[in-house]
Chains A and B, each alone.
Chain A
């Protein structure tokens, strides 16, 4: 029995060694491995964010009083808005919304100042709902300014910084809410996306590496040559995947260090947990790649299938949009993806400072997914000639 295990391991290692040597000379592959983290880091670090900026808005100030101007100024200094454009009629404001020239349209009624004295001022806010994320946030910002606005005295009101106000409530209101956003006090999207960066990179890497590697081998006919060796198909597949697991860890380390050095986003939790939870994820992703290789007949087909597996999995896993808000059914389908659990674990470790114990559930889920896939893969890699 030990002899069999020994020969199994030595066979796997032999194939892995051969594969690693091949990989070392594949300049295109190495280039991709290094270029991709940099590209994604730049995209998500600098360019892509849901946080509204330069929001165009129009204003119809029918009150034209110091109080109304101070209110509008308070909205502007939140920093999310462009300089407001004044419109002369309600219709004009609506038309501008309709043409997409403005996201928000604030109407201050004539009796604003008078009502302010009586303590019941009101403004009307019309939003372009076509981009829901932006309008929900813009409405939130304006609502927050409004709820802290003190018509009697401007200096007393809490001026809103670029951050959601820590305290909402005004003198005389029955409730004062002390709010805090834990882990990411300014709700910066960059932290949210870069925490899951490794998940995106490793999905790309593992899936394409294993599917392309195996299909390429079959296309070249070298797979059959290997079958002629005293190695079993499972040994060949495992041997081929092993070096990729190594590369995955390199990419993980590279990406994590890079986002730490460039953006100061270091894992708040334990590196051990990070490395631990990566293992079943990488293995499961590689196993999915083996599946793809079984479905595809040519390399081009393999890439096709890979690409069209990766895209929905980015979306459904909650890497891009919060999975908590997805409708039932869609959310559960996403739960079958390894990336769902990996991104949960990543965000816990990197953003919230979790250790091994806190990522136990994702760890178990990933291991379970991997074991199911492994059983299936063992059946799939039975020798097929021709």
Chain B
């Protein structure tokens, strides 16, 4: 290994990359676009959800209930003349939830207040949209129970300020003497509004650094080999190792810059800054780039054409990205799959990145994960270097 020769190669590669408009666009645009897309899409806050209403009661209290559901923009009610038309609207996806208020609602409510049987309310959800149904259920239940509690006791001042936050599950206790139900005062730490962007942003680093890095590395090496310039370089005094390092180190540097760029973009555009140390995060991430570079090298070693390299990376990365906990918590997977997920470096990197971003953890509490990550990286780098030696 000759450092001066390596330097020459590094400069040459950096210049070549800089001039390649397509690669540069990908390197800058994709991380930022991924950040924007993923940062915005995950939301748990229910708002403006279309709610079908069949009000057979048509009294002041039933209208009050509907008005409370519409207040704060959580639900947008629409009247339906028959219960049957509600079913059809649910099937067409026109509404996401529906309530049926029975004709005797008002009378039953007064009886319930006097100690009789409770009034009934039928609620239908579109279970086809699982996440949506699950979230709106908690909202609607809270809103309806608290409104009815108020109605049945004569306008009692709402102390909780209504269920603006999705977690204020404090149903019947708002009403005086009820013989059942436990009121839950809940609070979400680290992310009180349960805003999805923090969660997704911290995972997007793992996605970009695993997927894009491996992809670009593999393609750029295979293209070099295809265009014949690799062989030209081999007849120079440079060794294969130097040539390959000269190729991937500039890429690694670009990705390290990408990390900083993404941290800044997430901070300024999405308002998501890491809870923990930014410097620590950038160091860990740059180190993780080595893993993906090695993975790209390995893929390039087994691919004959650039297209093949890309397809291999994509095919390999989809399960990797999906199982790494980026979008779906690993905890929810069956046990064998959870073991499988543990052997992906991306899993550990995403875990570390979330810990720093969301909970502000430091190097000490993350030591076991960092050690595993280092171990994986060293193994992959060793294997990748060996594959280079073999080819030389």
Query: Residues of A at under 8 Å CB distance from B?
Result: 32, 39, 43, 46-56, 71, 94, 97-100, 116, 119-137, 139-140, 142-144, 146-152, 157, 164, 168-189, 191-192, 195, 212, 216, 297-304, 307-308, 311-312, 315-316, 320-322, 324-327, 330, 344, 347-348, 351-354, 358
| A191 and B186 alpha carbons, distance in the complex (Å) | 30
Say whether A146 contacts B183, CB under 8 Å.
yes
The verdict on B71 contacting chain A, using a C-beta distance below 8 Å, is no
Given A43-B322, A325-B45, A187:B133 Cβ within 8 A: yes
Known: A51-B130, A55-B331. 11 other contacts (CB 8 A): A50-B332, A100-B361, A126-B186, A132-B44, A135-B167, A139-B188, A140-B137, A181-B124, A304-B219, A312-B37, A322-B129
Given A126-B186, A195-B128, A299-B305, A176:B90 Cβ within 8 A: no
The residues of A that contact B331 with a CB separation of less than 8 Å are: 52-56, 134
B53-89, CB < 8 A from A = 87
Say whether A124 contacts B125, CB under 8 Å.
no
Candidate in B121, B133, B169, B188 with the most chain A CB atoms within 10 angstroms: B188
Say whether A174 contacts B149, CB under 8 Å.
yes
Shortest distance between the CB of A359 and any CB in chain B (Å)? 9
Shortest distance between the CB of B307 and any CB in chain A (Å)? 4
Shortest distance between the CB of B272 and any CB in chain A (Å)? 12
* Chain A residue at minimum C-beta to C-beta distance from B317: A307
Question: Which of B41, B141, B148, B307 interacts with A174 by CB under 8 Å?
Answer: B148
Say whether B329 contacts A131, CB under 8 Å.
yes
5 closest A-B pairs by CB: A170-B180, A129-B188, A143-B169, A129-B191, A184-B127
Say whether B41 contacts A321, CB under 8 Å.
yes
The residues of A that contact B40 with a CB separation of less than 8 Å are: 326-327, 330
The residues of B that contact A46 with a CB separation of less than 8 Å are: 333-334, 337
The residues of B that contact A146 with a CB separation of less than 8 Å are: 169, 171, 181-184
The residues of B that contact A49 with a CB separation of less than 8 Å are: 328, 332-333
The verdict on B359 contacting chain A, using a C-beta distance below 8 Å, is yes
Given A52-B332, A174-B149, A330-B41, A139:B182 Cβ within 8 A: no
Shortest distance between the CB of A256 and any CB in chain B (Å)? 16
The residues of B that contact A299 with a CB separation of less than 8 Å are: 305-307
Say whether A325 contacts B44, CB under 8 Å.
yes
The residues of A that contact B311 with a CB separation of less than 8 Å are: 32, 303
Say whether A324 contacts B132, CB under 8 Å.
yes
Say whether A175 contacts B121, CB under 8 Å.
yes
Question: Which of A130, A192, A351, A354 interacts with B92 by CB under 8 Å?
Answer: A354
Question: Which of B22, B128, B188 interacts with A347 by CB under 8 Å?
Answer: B128
The verdict on B179 contacting chain A, using a C-beta distance below 8 Å, is yes
Say whether B180 contacts A157, CB under 8 Å.
yes
Question: Which of A47, A94, A133, A184 interacts with B189 by CB under 8 Å?
Answer: A94
Say whether B322 contacts A358, CB under 8 Å.
no
Interface residues on B, range: 35 or more
Say whether B93 contacts A172, CB under 8 Å.
no
B332-346, CB < 8 A from A = 332-334, 337
Given A129-B190, A143-B169, A303-B314, A150:B180 Cβ within 8 A: yes
* Chain B residue at minimum C-beta to C-beta distance from A121: B182
| A136 and B305 alpha carbons, distance in the complex (Å) | 46
* Chain B residue at minimum C-beta to C-beta distance from A52: B332
**Which of B10-18, B195-203, B245-253, B370-378 forms contacts with chain A?**
B195-203
Say whether A352 contacts B128, CB under 8 Å.
yes
| A172 and B194 alpha carbons, distance in the complex (Å) | 33
The verdict on B283 contacting chain A, using a C-beta distance below 8 Å, is no
Query: Residues of B at under 8 Å CB distance from A?
Result: 22, 26, 30, 33-34, 37-38, 40-47, 49, 87, 90-93, 96, 109, 112-113, 118-135, 137-138, 141-142, 144-145, 148-149, 151-152, 166-167, 169, 171-173, 175, 177-196, 198-199, 215, 219, 222-223, 305-307, 309-311, 314-315, 318-319, 322-323, 327-329, 331-334, 337, 354-355, 358-359, 361, 365
The residues of A that contact B119 with a CB separation of less than 8 Å are: 174-176
| A365 and B217 alpha carbons, distance in the complex (Å) | 39
Question: Which of B185, B189, B310, B318 interacts with A304 by CB under 8 Å?
Answer: B310
Say whether B355 contacts A100, CB under 8 Å.
yes
Candidate in B49, B128, B310 with the most chain A CB atoms within 10 angstroms: B128
Shortest distance between the CB of A378 and any CB in chain B (Å)? 26
Shortest distance between the CB of A73 and any CB in chain B (Å)? 13
| A221 and B30 alpha carbons, distance in the complex (Å) | 30
Say whether A187 contacts B134, CB under 8 Å.
yes
Say whether B194 contacts A129, CB under 8 Å.
yes
| A316 and B41 alpha carbons, distance in the complex (Å) | 7
* Chain A residue at minimum C-beta to C-beta distance from B360: A98
Shortest distance between the CB of B45 and any CB in chain A (Å)? 7
Given A174-B148, A327-B40, A121:B129 Cβ within 8 A: no
Say whether A140 contacts B134, CB under 8 Å.
yes
Say whether B130 contacts A50, CB under 8 Å.
yes
Shortest distance between the CB of A242 and any CB in chain B (Å)? 23
Say whether A189 contacts B91, CB under 8 Å.
no
| A358 and B128 alpha carbons, distance in the complex (Å) | 15
30 A-B residue pairings within 8 Å (CB atoms): A97-B190, A119-B178, A119-B179, A123-B182, A124-B186, A124-B187, A129-B190, A130-B358, A130-B359, A134-B329, A136-B134, A136-B194, A142-B186, A143-B169, A146-B184, A172-B177, A173-B118, A174-B172, A175-B120, A175-B145, A178-B120, A187-B127, A187-B133, A191-B128, A300-B306, A312-B33, A322-B132, A325-B43, A326-B41, A353-B91
Candidate in A53, A136, A148 with the most chain B CB atoms within 10 angstroms: A136
Say whether A47 contacts B323, CB under 8 Å.
yes
Question: Which of B128, B137, B314 interacts with A164 by CB under 8 Å?
Answer: B137
Candidate in A142, A176, A325, A344 with the most chain B CB atoms within 10 angstroms: A325
The residues of B that contact A170 with a CB separation of less than 8 Å are: 172, 178-181
Shortest distance between the CB of B170 and any CB in chain A (Å)? 8
The residues of B that contact A327 with a CB separation of less than 8 Å are: 40, 43
* Chain B residue at minimum C-beta to C-beta distance from A362: B93
Shortest distance between the CB of B103 and any CB in chain A (Å)? 15
| A168 and B125 alpha carbons, distance in the complex (Å) | 14
The residues of B that contact A51 with a CB separation of less than 8 Å are: 130, 332
Candidate in A49, A71, A311, A316 with the most chain B CB atoms within 10 angstroms: A311
Say whether A130 contacts B22, CB under 8 Å.
no
Say whether B91 contacts A180, CB under 8 Å.
no
Say whether B183 contacts A122, CB under 8 Å.
yes
* Chain A residue at minimum C-beta to C-beta distance from B192: A129
| A315 and B49 alpha carbons, distance in the complex (Å) | 20
Shortest distance between the CB of B98 and any CB in chain A (Å)? 9
